């Protein structure tokens, strides 16, 4: 077998008697993850029954992500626990200054994850999904300022289209006709302004943390999995501080896992594996393929929102979402 054929075979996963290219499998998984993340998170915040504490969910997400990365490294070390421990000691404990660099993105990611729960509690799933794509704009701006990256004119054009598309999504359905819906009250227990502020803050933190993390990874020999363990360590500690500050008395009275059900765990797992899945897509596919997956996810989220949450698709939302999808494609 030729070297090229061998490499191709290594990028295929056997499912039963069928060999599926990892590239396409990872893309399908990313579409499902991106679409289901906002749907599951939104559903977990509006379902009947006792409501779980979002701060504890963020902590559990960090722990699951950290343990998953340990498993990946353990497999890479030929299932040797002693090698896993040695690698953790070498790349984390013995280099405290290098590890401490991850404190900044860890804080930002932890706050960002909490803000996502605030946003999906106050915005429709489809609106959140589209608006959250503004993280592309913030990432680009921080890339220019922090990494001195030069963007081509077409990328700047795509960022303008992206911003306009998100703005169209926020316009009330009857704004141009002066109908009653333009001033309609939000759904019970839902504050649109709070949701928009939360998602915009999350986009800013996502952009800065992502570029900062990229800057740390450049020239570093430490694996992405180990870096995610470092992020998870700080994220868990910072998240527990958030639990204590925000929900301390309530958690002490009702318990850390108060209100948890299978939907809660689905939301936690989805949030934990999202970043790891993106890393796999970038490794086995490419950024353009990731863009297509994001575009499909926006459409699926909107359609599922109509069925699950009685979301009303308007021409303004359709126009804005189409502009966002086109901008995401153009940026790639």
Q: pLDDT tens, 201-228? A: 999 999 999 888 888 877 677 887 888 8
Dihedral of alpha carbons 251, 192, 37, 203, sign:
negative
- CA geometry: angle 303, 304, 310, nearest 5 deg: 90
Please state, in angstroms and rounded to a whole number, the distance separating the CA atoms of residues 189 and 187. 6
What residue has token string 């998870």?
232
What pLDDT digit, counting tens, does each position of 286-295 carry?
A: 555 666 778 8
Q: Give the pLDDT score at 17.
A: 64
What pLDDT digit, counting tens, does each position of 157-207 carry?
A: 999 999 999 998 988 766 655 554 444 445 556 788 999 999 999 999 999
- Spatial neighbors of 260 by CB under 8 A, at least 6 apart, are 52
Is the pLDDT confidence value at 284 over 70? no
Question: For the chain, what percent of residues have pLDDT higher than 70?
Answer: 83
What pLDDT digit, counting tens, does each position of 76-107 carry?
A: 888 899 999 999 999 999 988 888 988 999 99
Assign 312 a pLDDT band (cuts: 50, 70, 90): confident
Assign 71 a pLDDT band (cuts: 50, 70, 90): very high
Is the pLDDT confidence value at 5 over 80? no
Nearest CA to 298 out of 313, 282, 287 is that of 313
Whole-number mean pLDDT of the chain?
84
Q: Which residues pair with 20 in a beta bridge?
A: 13
Specify whether the backbone of 80 is left (phi greater than 0), alpha (psi in -120 to 50) or beta: beta
Collapsing DSSP states into helix, strand and coil, what is residue 252? helix
Q: Give the pLDDT score at 219.
A: 65
Of all helices (H) and strands (E), which one includes residue 19? strand 18-21
Q: What is the pTM of this model?
A: 0.84
Which has the higher per-residue pLDDT, 276 or 6? Answer: 276
Q: Give the pLDDT score at 78.
A: 87
Q: Give the pLDDT score at 175.
A: 61
What pLDDT digit, counting tens, does each position of 247-277 carry?
A: 999 999 999 999 999 999 999 999 888 867 7
φ/ψ of residue 30, rounded to 5 = -70, -40
Number of neighbouring beta carbons within 10 Å of residue 6: 9
What pLDDT digit, counting tens, does each position of 31-68 carry?
A: 888 888 889 999 998 888 899 999 999 999 999 999 99
Q: Which of 138-142, 232-236, 285-289 has the lowest mean pLDDT?
A: 285-289
Q: Give the pLDDT score at 240.
A: 96
- Spatial neighbors of 292 by CB under 8 A, at least 6 apart, are 27, 329
Which sequence spans correspond to the domains of the chain? Answer: 3-331
Q: Give the pLDDT score at 25.
A: 75
Please state, in angstroms and rounded to a whole number, the distance separating the CA atoms of residues 214 and 150. 16
Distances (CA, A) of 94 to 30, 87, 100: 35, 10, 12
């Amino acid at each position: 077998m030729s070297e090229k054929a061998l490499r191709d075979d290594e990028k295929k996963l056997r499912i039963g008697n069928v060999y599926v290219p990892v590239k396409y499998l990872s893309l399908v998984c990313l579409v499902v993850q991106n679409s289901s993340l906002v749907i599951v998170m939104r559903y977990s915040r509006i379902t009947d029954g006792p409501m779980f504490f979002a701060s504890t969910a963020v902590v559990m997400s960090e722990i699951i992500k950290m343990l998953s990365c340990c498993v990946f490294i353990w497999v890479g070390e030929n299932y040797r626990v002693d090698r896993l421990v040695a690698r953790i000691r070498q790349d984390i404990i013995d280099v405290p200054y290098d590890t401490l660099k991850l404190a900044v993105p860890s804080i930002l990611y932890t706050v960002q994850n909490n803000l996502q729960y605030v946003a999906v509690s106050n915005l429709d799933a489809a609106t959140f999904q589209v608006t959250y794509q503004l993280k592309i704009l913030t990432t680009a701006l921080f890339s220019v300022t922090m990494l001195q990256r030069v963007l081509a004119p077409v990328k700047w054009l795509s960022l303008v289209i992206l911003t306009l598309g998100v703005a169209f999504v926020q316009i009330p359905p009857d704004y141009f006709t002066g109908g009653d819906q333009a001033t309609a009250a939000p759904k019970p227990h839902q504050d649109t302004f709070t949701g928009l502020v939360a998602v915009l803050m999350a986009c800013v933190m996502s952009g800065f943390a992502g570029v900062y993390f990229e800057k740390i990874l450049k020239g570093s020999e430490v694996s992405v999995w180990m870096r995610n363990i470092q992020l998870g360590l700080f994220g868990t500690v910072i998240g527990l501080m958030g639990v204590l500050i925000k929900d301390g008395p309530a958690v002490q009275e009702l318990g850390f896992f108060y209100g948890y059900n299978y939907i809660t765990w689905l939301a936690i797992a989805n949030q934990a594996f999202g970043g790891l899945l993106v890393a796999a897509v970038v490794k086995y596919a490419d950024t353009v393929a990731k863009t297509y997956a994001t575009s499909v996810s926006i459409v699926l989220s909107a359609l599922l929102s109509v069925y699950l949450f009685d979301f009303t698709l308007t021409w303004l939302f359709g126009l804005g979402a189409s502009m966002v999808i086109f901008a995401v494609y153009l940026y790639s």
